[in-house]
Amino acid sequence: MGNHYDKQKKPTHVLTVENWENDEIYALLERAQSFQTSSRSFIHEQLFAANLFFEPSTRTKISFEAAERKLGLQVLPFEANTSSIKKGETLYDTVKTLESIGVDVVVIRHSQERYFDELMDAIHIPIINGGDGCGHHPTQSFLDLLTIQQEFQTFEDVNIVIAGDISHSRVARSNIYLLERLGAKVYVAGPKEWMSEEWMARYVTMDEAVEIADVMMMLRIQHERHAVKMVAGPAEYHETYGLTVEREKRMKPTSIIMHPAPINRGVEIASELVECERSRIFKQMTNGVYVRMAVLEYVLERR
Which parts of this chain interact with its own copies (CB under 8 A)? 1-3, 36, 39, 46, 48, 50, 53, 56-59, 61-63, 65-66, 69-70, 74, 76-90, 93-94, 96-103, 223-224, 261-265, 274-275, 282-283, 285-286, 288-289
Tell me if 7 is assigned to a ligand binding site.
no
The string of DSSP letters for the chain reads --TTS-TTSPP--B--STT--HHHHHHHHHHHHHTTT----S--S--EEEEEESS--SHHHHHHHHHHHHTT-EEE---GGGSGGGGT--HHHHHHHHHHHT--EEEEEESSTTGGGGTTTT-SS-EEEEEETTS--HHHHHHHHHHHHHHHS--TT-EEEEES-GGG-SSHHHHHHHHHHTT-EEEEES-GGG--GGGGGGB--HHHHHHH-SEEEE----TTT--PPPSS-HHHHHHHHSB-HHHHTTS-TT-EEE--S---BTTTB-GGGTTSTTB-HHHHHHHHHHHHHHHHHHHHTT-
Q: Supply the minimum distance, in Å, between the C-beta of residue 44 and its own copies.
A: 15
Tell me if 61 is assigned to a ligand binding site.
no
Which CB atom, from 21 or from 79, has the smaller least distance to its own copies? 79
Which CB atom, from 53 or from 187, has the smaller least distance to its own copies? 53
Tell me if 262 is assigned to a ligand binding site.
yes
Which CB atom, from 59 or from 114, has the smaller least distance to its own copies? 59
Which CB atom, from 51 or from 176, has the smaller least distance to its own copies? 51
Tell me if 303 is assigned to a ligand binding site.
no
Q: Supply the minimum distance, in Å, between the C-beta of residue 196 and its own copies.
A: 25
Which CB atom, from 59 or from 226, has the smaller least distance to its own copies? 59
Tell me if 109 is assigned to a ligand binding site.
yes
Tell me if 205 is assigned to a ligand binding site.
no
Specify binding-site residues.
59-60, 87, 109, 137, 140, 170, 220, 261-262
Specify binding-site residues for L-aspartate.
87, 170, 220
